[in-house]
Structures are given as structure tokens and as C-alpha cells.
Amino acid sequence: MLDTWYDPTAIAIVLVGTIAATILRCGFADSRVAAGALRGLLGAPFNVAKAKASLAIQIREIADDGFIRAEPRHFGDNEFDSLSDLMISQRSIQSLHGEHSKFKEARLANAKTAIRVLDCAADLAPVLGLAGTLVALGHARGAAPEDAGIVGAISMAVVTTLYGLVAANFLFSPLGGAIARRSRREEIDRDEVLEWLAHGIRRAGVPDMAPEPEREAA
């Protein structure tokens, strides 16, 4: 039974053809962004508990020593490592939100690009399935009705059409949805950690902004 629905040639036509067509339509740069987002699905999501545990040490040091003597604390997250450096160097909480917005905009732009590429692949997969159907029927042209080759060609035509529909609705579209859900969840979690960090520093008695140095009289 499975042999009836398994056709390596049809799989190659649909999957390889869809990927190639998507790259040509969306471009290599956007396709690389989509590939990176797909790799990200295999990794662990943003860990709120780990971020808060690491940043709690930063808050305690700032409360004990102030901005001047506190050292930045890094825990392997590009954004919050950068925010820690910025907060200590500028002695400011307010600067956190502006820098966070830059990271957020970049992440959302990458997620939108990846989703658009996968949506494009989902649109192209049935087309490539139809192309495989036409290729299979083209091989059957001129064959006698009783020829076994025509049966195989018709079988390949049906299977290729099925692969195109399956790839679109059970592979590319779900992957795009998974990236969208991961992106939304991550931004909610990161916003929560940022507000928690700012609130923790305020509770430690540190002002929102370090005083500006006095300007010398002209």
C-alpha cells in the first residue's frame, strides 16, 4: 500500500522544485532569513526564568554598588547582554527601552520575512505538483492503453498532485505558523523581562536617569 504512494521522483519534483522556485521568487537573502528562522524552531525558546535569574544578580549589584561600580552581567542572550552593557555604561534605565525596541524591530522584521517566504513556498508547492502531473502525463503520450508504462505515469501524476497539496498544507504553511507563534511568544516574554528588570532597578532605589554633568560656562 505504501509503495503506491511513495515516489522519489515525485517528491524531488515537488520539494526540490518548490524550494528552487521560492528562492528565485523571494531572493537568496530572504531565503537565508527563512532558513535561519527554521533552524531557530529547533532550538530552545527564550527562557524567562533563566533571564530573570541572571538579571537578578545585576539588579542586586546595582543596588549594592550603584551604576558606577557595578559590572555588566552576561548570560548568552544578545539583547539582554547588550542592554546590560548599555545600562551600566550610560547609568540609565530609560535607555533600555529604546535599545530593546531596536532589537524587537529587527526580530519582527526577520519573522515577517521568514513567514512571507514560507507562504510563498506554500503557494508554489501545488503549482509544482501540477507541473509534476504534466511531466508524468507527457511521458505517457503515445503509449498504448494496455502498456504498463501508462499506468505508472498516471499513478505518478496523481501522487505528484497529492504531494504538492500535502507540502503546501502540512509542511510549508504549518512551518510559517510555527514561526509566527514562536515570534509572538518571544516578544511577550522579552517585554515581560524588560519591565521586570526596570521595575527591579527602581525598587532598588536607583533613579531612572543618571544626572547629566554640568556644562561649563561659556
Question: What is the widest separation between alpha-carbon atoms in the chain?
Answer: 102
- In total, how many domains does the chain have? 1
Q: Which element (helix H / strand E) includes 26?
A: helix 17-26
User: Can you give the pLDDT at residue 214?
Assistant: 45
Q: Which of 132-136, 137-141, 181-185 has the lowest mean pLDDT?
A: 137-141
Q: Is the distance from CB of 193 to CB of 52 less than 8 angstroms?
A: yes
Q: Is the distance from CB of 135 to CB of 204 less than 8 angstroms?
A: no
**DSSP-assigned states of every residue in 176-207:** HHHHHHHHHHHHHHHHHHHHHHHHHHHHTT--
Question: Residue for cell digits 532550538?
Answer: 43
What is the pLDDT of the chain when averaged over all its residues?
Answer: 85
For 5-56, the pLDDT digits (tens) are 788 888 998 999 999 999 999 999 999 999 999 999 999 999 999 999 989 9
Q: Is residue 184 part of a domain?
A: yes
Q: Is residue 217 part of a domain?
A: no
Task: Identify which has the larger pLDDT, 130 or 63.
Answer: 130
Specify the amino acid at residue 77. D
HSE-CB of 44 using CA atoms within 13 angstroms: 6
Q: Is residue 211 part of a domain?
A: no
92 strand-pairing partners: 209
Q: Is residue 212 part of a domain?
A: no
Domain span at 160: 7-203
Q: Is residue 210 part of a domain?
A: no
Q: Is residue 213 part of a domain?
A: no
Q: Is residue 127 part of a domain?
A: yes
Evaluate if residue 187 carries a pLDDT over 50. Answer: yes
Percent of residues, the chain, with pLDDT higher than 90: 52
Phi and psi for 120 in degrees, rounded to 5?
A: -65, -45
Q: Is residue 209 part of a domain?
A: no
